[in-house]
């Protein structure tokens, strides 16, 4: 940890009352005279132990409790209301993720209820493409949620890093997310926030859907707002369906399919399907604007990929794929060379038959003509 981070950590400890202001000022004065870092001096003076300092540095000054039996290894992620800590279970010897509600929300009944609701939902769901929840409870007055730790990166992080996705890679990801959506739909759950930031992928090409903070039962409304969009719309505006943008309460899996289509668009086109000066402009575009065929053509998107995106992101949900199973069947058949597509909105409106899912194992069913390169390459030790 850099010296400036140590100073921030010292300030946080003073703010939390764990070091008296006078003691901190004395440490800073001695540090300036000796050239030693103030927190190292604090350990030497017995203000706290070396183990305590190492823990504070590992969690990067975040205000998270130390859970008995777990060793904090660092911050895995930060959200608007919680911090996720990567930790090791000392007894079991395995890593997991611990989501901690931030202290400034511990008296917010609505946020706490949402935190508990997501935790209980994930604990009740068991699917290889959905991050698993384990336990939720309170420790030292703080809500904590123990989850499966996924050693990977989000699609959003990869996009920000300049990652470009081949069509085979993008379809492989979409198929696995669609399998998760099939499971959620079978359990009467709509995710409502499918986006690259909520899809993790490991160096073994395992895909995990995360963050069910906006999830709801089919037809359930939720007063929490979308990011900057108002009180009646949930989700992330760049990816939500037209009906979600309108704040409709009767959302179903077809809304998630639209969001998955917007994600697919971004993976293969390298940009969002709709943009604007602010969230209101993007919301309006989701409802009214058509996809730009020129953008897809300029990226040399194949006809069948163009078809998938158009059908997944149709403005009327009756025109979209009516279930993830239907989407999976079409993509699997295309990858295996059994079907070719030309998008016909009129024909699609009539509802294409879902088709029988392939009997062979999933990995074999989607095997492309050439191997899929690792989407996230294993980092070599320095």
pLDDT higher than 90, residue 146: yes
For 244, the token pair is 């979600």
Q: 175 and 44: one domain?
A: no
Burial class (CB in 10 A: 0-12, 13-18, 19+), 100: buried
3-state SS of 172-198 is: HHHHHHHHHHHHHHHCCEECCCCCHHH
- Mark whether 193 is an active-site residue: yes
CATH number at residue 193: 1.10.510.10
Q: 90 and 37: one domain?
A: no
Domain presence at residue 348: yes
DSSP 8-class letter at 48: S
Tally the domains of the chain: 3
Please give the Cα distance from 117 to 25 (Å, whole number).
44
* pLDDT confidence bin for 144, thresholds 50/70/90: very high
Buried b (16+ CB within 10 A) or exposed e, 145-159: bbbbbbebbbbbebb
Q: 107 and 176: one domain?
A: no
Specify the higher pLDDT residue, 125 or 380. Answer: 125
How much is the pLDDT for 333?
A: 86
Domain assignment of residue 120, given as a range: 53-149
Of the candidates 193, 211, 256, 330, the residue annotated as catalytic is: 193
Please give the Cα distance from 95 to 84 (Å, whole number).
13
How large a percentage of the chain has pLDDT more than 70?
77
Cα distances from 314 to residues 103, 274, 360, in angstroms, run 42, 14, 30
Please give the Cα distance from 264 to 258 (Å, whole number).
10
Q: 278 and 167: one domain?
A: yes
Q: 60 in the Ramachandran plot: left (φ > 0), alpha (ψ -120 to 50) or beta?
A: left
pLDDT higher than 80, residue 371: no
Burial class (CB in 10 A: 0-12, 13-18, 19+), 61: middle
pLDDT higher than 50, residue 224: no
Q: Which distant-in-sequence residues (6+ apart) come within 8 Å of 267 by Cβ?
A: 155, 159, 165, 169, 170, 173, 196
Domain presence at residue 375: no
How much is the pLDDT for 1?
A: 46
How much is the pLDDT for 223?
A: 41
pLDDT higher than 80, residue 351: no
pLDDT digits (tens, 9 = 90+) for 252-281: 999 999 999 999 999 998 888 887 777 788
Q: 39 and 158: one domain?
A: no
pLDDT higher than 50, residue 175: yes
Burial class (CB in 10 A: 0-12, 13-18, 19+), 311: buried
How much is the pLDDT for 205?
A: 87
How much is the pLDDT for 276?
A: 75
* pLDDT confidence bin for 377, thresholds 50/70/90: low
How much is the pLDDT for 65?
A: 75
How much is the pLDDT for 370?
A: 45
Q: How much is the mean pLDDT over the chain?
A: 80
The predicted model gives 313-334 an average pLDDT of 93
Domain presence at residue 161: yes
How much is the pLDDT for 155?
A: 95
Domain presence at residue 373: no
Q: 145 and 170: one domain?
A: no
Q: 98 and 234: one domain?
A: no
For 178, the token pair is 């669609």
For 33, the token pair is 């005279």
Domain boundary among the residues 103, 131, 149 is at 149
Q: 182 and 58: one domain?
A: no
pLDDT digits (tens, 9 = 90+) for 288-308: 777 766 676 666 788 889 999
Q: 19 and 70: one domain?
A: no
CATH number at residue 69: 3.30.200.20
When mean pLDDT is compared across 24-38, 67-81, 103-117, 140-154, the lowest value belongs to 67-81
Q: 117 and 250: one domain?
A: no
Helix (H, G, I), strand (E, B) or coil at 349: helix
How much is the pLDDT for 303?
A: 87
Domain presence at residue 44: yes
Cα distances from 102 to residues 77, 96, 113, 355, 373, in angstroms, run 13, 19, 14, 47, 39
Dihedral sign of CA atoms 21, 27, 31, 37 in order: negative
Domain boundary among the residues 149, 165, 184 is at 149
How much is the pLDDT for 357?
A: 25
Domain presence at residue 9: no
Judge whether 129 and 328 are in contact, CB under 8 Å.
Answer: no
Q: 39 and 58: one domain?
A: no
Judge whether 158 and 207 are in contact, CB under 8 Å.
Answer: no
Q: 23 and 60: one domain?
A: no
């Amino acid at each position: 940890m850099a010296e400036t981070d140590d100073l921030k950590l010292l300030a946080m400890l003073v703010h939390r009352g764990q070091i008296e202001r006078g003691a901190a000022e004395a440490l800073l004065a001695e540090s300036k005279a000796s050239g030693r870092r103030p927190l190292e001096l604090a350990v030497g003076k017995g203000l706290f132990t070396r183990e305590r300092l190492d823990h504070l540095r590992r969690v990067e000054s975040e205000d998270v409790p130390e859970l008995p039996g777990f060793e904090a290894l660092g911050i895995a992620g930060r959200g608007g209301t919680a911090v996720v800590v990567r930790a090791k279970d000392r007894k079991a010897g395995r890593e997991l993720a611990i989501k901690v509600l931030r202290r400034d929300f511990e008296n917010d009944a609505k946020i706490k209820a949402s935190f508990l609701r997501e935790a209980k939902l994930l604990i009740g769901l068991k699917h290889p493409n959905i991050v698993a929840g384990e336990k939720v409870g309170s420790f030292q007055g703080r809500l904590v949620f123990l989850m499966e730790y996924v050693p990977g990166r989000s699609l959003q992080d990869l996009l920000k890093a300049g990652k470009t996705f081949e069509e085979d890679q993008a379809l492989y990801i979409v198929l696995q997310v669609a399998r998760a959506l099939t499971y959620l739909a079978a359990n009467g759950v709509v995710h409502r926030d499918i986006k690259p930031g909520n899809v993790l992928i490991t160096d073994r090409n395992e895909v995990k859907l995360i963050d069910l903070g906006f999830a709801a039962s089919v037809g359930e409304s939720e007063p929490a707002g979308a990011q900057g969009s108002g009180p009646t719309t949930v989700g992330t505006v760049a990816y939500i369906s037209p009906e979600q943008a309108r704040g409709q309460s009767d959302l179903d899996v077809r809304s998630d399919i639209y969001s998955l289509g917007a994600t697919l668009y971004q993976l293969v086109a390298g940009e969002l399907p709709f943009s604007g000066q602010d969230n209101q402009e993007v919301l309006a575009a989701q409802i009214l604007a058509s996809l730009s065929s020129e953008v897809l053509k300029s990226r040399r998107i194949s006809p069948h990929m163009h078809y998938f995106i158009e059908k997944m992101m149709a403005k009327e949900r009756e025109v979209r794929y009516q279930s993830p199973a239907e989407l999976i069947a079409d993509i699997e058949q295309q990858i295996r060379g059994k079907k070719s597509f030309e998008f016909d909105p009129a024909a699609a409106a009539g509802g294409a038959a879902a088709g029988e899912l392939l009997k062979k194992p999933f990995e074999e069913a989607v095997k492309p003509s050439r191997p899929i390169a690792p989407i996230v390459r294993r980092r070599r030790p320095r």
